[in-house]
Amino acid sequence: MSIDYRRFLRTVVSDDNEYVRSEALRQIASGWKNEAGILELFYHTALNDPFQRESKYQDNPRQTALEAIVEYYPEHPQSLPLLQDRAENDPDEQLREWAKKKLRRLEN
């Protein structure tokens, strides 16, 4: 049986539960980071995931996607501008702070 993995990935990263979305992104990063379209999936998620923080212990799928981009695609021309944008414009304060710290480390 053949599975359309791209359709499957789009489904799991759009689940209603942010923990499911974050874990799906981690699994995608660990196993499929070199597949066509995965960077675009992370990029789209980092910008558009509907996560809204209710407690400081929640997983933010936008941050999970951004972490994968910074780790696996650091030389991609969109990676640094996206990190800079999220440091200034993401609605989640924790993600903005994480992105600012990551930018400071990259500058050193």
d(CA 87, CA 104): 11
* 59-85 per-position pLDDT tens digit: 999 999 999 999 999 999 999 999 999
Share of the chain above pLDDT 90, in %: 76
Residue 70, judged by CB atoms within 10 A of its CB (0-12, 13-18, 19+), counts as: buried
Residues 6+ apart with CB under 8 A from 52: 91, 92
Mean pLDDT of 10-29: 89
Amino acid at 26: R
